Amino acid sequence: MTIAEARELFAYSAWANGLVFDAAGALPPEQLSAAIASSFPSVRATLGHIAGTESVWLRRWRGESPASAPAWANDSLLPELRSRLAAVEAEREEYLAQLGDSDLARVVEYRRFSGEAHADRLADLVRHVVNHSTYHRGQAATQLRHLGVKPPGTDFILYLRAAR
């Protein structure tokens, strides 16, 4: 992986997150928080998990080991979640802009919420974060379908076509 590829993957992920947040934003508040069985109990909770997790991983890359997801990931309404995620995406873009290809081989040492120590290559963590958000966007898409909303297409190839 090159740093250009990492930046492209995160540009894709930000694009896809934006589409899902747009679709969720059309829901009334009671539907946004409606209980729909999945990994997380509602569309809002699923989107909060995506945003909070992206924040946690960026903190880890910067040498921190947060003990939990940020409180705003669980407590915020959709507009604040979207704003917080946009700030994380901008900070991550600035972070990646300072790196070269060789930096992706750097091993990031961090602790999980359980306190367990881990160390992984930054390139592998980049792939993990993008994949993690993709997985949960899929869950949000299913939750949106259960609420009668057609979810947006967020496939990588659609991003590439839109970017061209």
The predicted-structure confidence for 22-41, as pLDDT tens digits, reads as follows: 999 999 999 999 999 899 99
The predicted-structure confidence for 52-92, as pLDDT tens digits, reads as follows: 999 999 999 999 999 999 999 999 999 999 999 999 999 99
* Domains assigned to the chain: 3-163 (1.20.120.450)
3-state helix, strand, coil in the chain (%, to 5): 65, 5, 25
- Whether the pLDDT of residue 101 is over 90: the answer is yes
The predicted-structure confidence for 38-53, as pLDDT tens digits, reads as follows: 999 999 999 999 999 9
Task: Give bridge partners of residue 120 from the DSSP assignment.
Answer: 108
Percentage of the chain modeled with pLDDT above 90: 98
Q: Which residues of 121-142 are buried (b: 16+ CB within 10 A; e: fewer)?
A: ebbebbeebbebbbebbebbbe
Instruction: Report the chain's terminal Cα–Cα distance, integer Å.
Output: 22
